[in-house]
Amino acid sequence: MHHFRYVGNQLHADGVDLATIAGLHGTPTYVYSEQTIADNYRRLAASLADLDLKICYAMKANSTLAVLRHFANLGAAFDLVSGGELRRVVAAGGAPGESVFAGVGKSEAEIRFALETGVYGFHVESEPELARIDRLAGQLGKKAPIAIRINPDVDAHTHAKITTGKSENKFGIPLKAAAAAYAAAAKYPHVELKGVQMHIGSQLTKVGPFVEAVQKVLPFVEELKKLYGIRYFSVGGGIGIVYQDALASGDAAWWDAKPEGERPLTPEAYGAALKPLLAPLGLKILLEPGRFLVGNAGVLVSRIEYVKRGQGKNFFILDAAMNDLVRPAMYEAYHEIVPVARDTTRAALAADIVGPVCESGDCFAKDRTLQEVREGELVAFMSAGAYGYTMASRYNTRPMPAEVLVSGARFELVNAREAYENMFAGEKIPGFLKS
Ligand code: LLP
């Protein structure tokens, strides 16, 4: 459920017309709904109520400071993957001491910074990383809290580029080798075995793989509790969202109309399936959801630059491009694209919806049928709140887009469109090229 809907024929985020935001702040602009984020967070937390639960929001999905502060206010901690993300948590007023530091390639500088700042746990992905953390913690006179990421080798049935729980990919330590990894870790003087972690993939729309993975690792987790007194089990993130019918899925009626077997994963179904498995452990349970919390809480608003009618092919050329929202180009991901001003009297037109970047991969949708839109009009990409802005780049020297947060009838620019001067502020012409 979310708070983007037509009021009359104008698409609104909560109580604000997206055209008003575009008029004031230009396009392309990401617009987030404060209320949708809060609803998603509370629903997920409620679905696992009674557990000793901590939601560590996977901030790689959307790490804008305003969004992080909102999560901190809601009571979330963070799942972070770099020294940069840790600095963002601090800058936003979040709690690093309750947050976890994941990632396969933590550098010495990042580990040192995390040890100095204090994190809840390092999610360790290899034995060399463990050795490095131990050594650096020793140098700083600290004990590093760690959890080893175990790879349960479960097929998440999701896009090949975002599946992580299969043994052939680079993440974690295979379940078979995990006992030995913990035994080795127990010998390091400067680490504390605090937990265990897993994550099987992203954009899962069925609960089955989550259940399978938890069941598979449960005996091992119990063993770790007995042997080392570990205190937490992080079950990772991965809950999927609706992309295809994104706008309609804002309403409860859309979900209610779905027969049980066809209903995409809900937090309630996730909680109902996992709670009975996790409760008997008597451990603190960490969740690391990213996409579920912010995905449907954001749209990317863009303006039509040109309507190009070709022979047998039409193109809507937007002012947003693959640099602003890379998911379609990178994963062939589907994003629903809707007009900000709906006009039911207009004909529908099939067109390729593309950006201005100079490569044919800069295509958001092929042969998509949309209301016939005209130059200067606005469209919105639904479900763009996760992995949208965070994956944006400056390709073609296009500035990073603006971001706006809406709360009820209020809205505020939370990240200004990047200024051209900033784009090459760190660059210089070397002396040997100056004549
Ligand atoms: N925990 C770990 C260890 C992860 O690697 C990830 C995501 C998450 C949590 C959060 O997963 P989520 O709840 O958001 O599914 N850029 C891709 C998604 C990459 C996900 C990477 N890991 C996309 O745009 O679809």
Contact 197, 149 (CB under 8 A): yes
3 sits in which H/E element: none
Q: What order do you get walking across the sheet with 16-17 strand by strand?
A: 4-7, 10-13, 16-17
State the DSSP code for 146. E
| Ligand 1 atom with the shortest distance to the CA of 123 | 3
Nearest to 335 by CA among 205, 251, 265, 245: 245
Locate 216 and state its tokens. Answer: 């598979």
Q: Is the CB of 61 under 6 A from ligand 1?
A: yes
Cα(347) to ligand 1 centroid in Å equals 39
The C-alpha atoms of residue 159 and residue 155 are separated, in whole angstroms, by 11
Q: Is the CB of 125 under 6 A from ligand 1?
A: no
Q: Is the CB of 335 under 6 A from ligand 1?
A: no
Q: Is the CB of 238 under 6 A from ligand 1?
A: yes
| 358 catalytic per annotation | yes
Residue ranges and CATH numbers for the domains of the chain are 34-291 (3.20.20.10), 296-423 (2.40.37.10)
Contact 288, 76 (CB under 8 A): no
Residue type, 230: I
Residue tagged active-site, from 358, 425, 429, 433 = 358
Locate 54 and state its tokens. Answer: 């901590």
Contact 296, 366 (CB under 8 A): no
Query: pTM score, two decimals?
Result: 0.97
Cα(202) to ligand 1 centroid in Å equals 5
Q: Is the CB of 56 under 6 A from ligand 1?
A: no
Length of the chain: 435
Cα(327) to ligand 1 centroid in Å equals 13
Residue nearest to atom 5 of ligand 1 (CA): 199
The C-alpha atoms of residue 239 and residue 270 are separated, in whole angstroms, by 8
Is the preceding peptide bond at 289 cis, omega within 30 degrees of 0?
Answer: no
| Ligand 1 atom with the shortest distance to the CA of 330 | 24
The C-alpha atoms of residue 62 and residue 384 are separated, in whole angstroms, by 10
What SS3 state is found at 237?
coil
Q: Is the CB of 288 under 6 A from ligand 1?
A: yes
| Ligand 1 atom with the shortest distance to the CA of 387 | 24
pLDDT tens digits in sequence order for the chain, 435 residues long: 999 999 999 999 999 999 999 999 999 999 999 999 999 999 999 999 999 999 999 999 999 999 999 999 999 999 999 999 999 999 999 999 999 999 999 999 999 999 999 999 999 999 999 999 999 999 999 999 999 999 998 988 766 665 565 666 678 999 999 999 999 999 999 999 999 999 999 999 999 999 999 999 999 999 999 999 999 999 999 999 999 999 999 999 999 999 988 999 999 999 999 999 999 999 999 999 999 999 999 999 999 999 999 888 999 999 999 999 999 999 999 999 999 999 999 999 999 999 999 999 999 999 999 999 999 999 999 999 999 999 999 999 999 999 999 999 999 999 999 999 999 999 999 999 998
The C-alpha atoms of residue 41 and residue 421 are separated, in whole angstroms, by 38
Q: Is the CB of 290 under 6 A from ligand 1?
A: yes
379-416: b or e for each residue (b if 16 or more CB lie within 10 Å)?
bbbbbbbbbbbeebeeeeebbbbbbbbbbeeebeebbe
58 sits in which H/E element: strand 53-58
The C-alpha atoms of residue 321 and residue 368 are separated, in whole angstroms, by 16
Taken in order 30, 35, 40, 45, the sign of the CA dihedral is: positive
Contact 233, 195 (CB under 8 A): yes
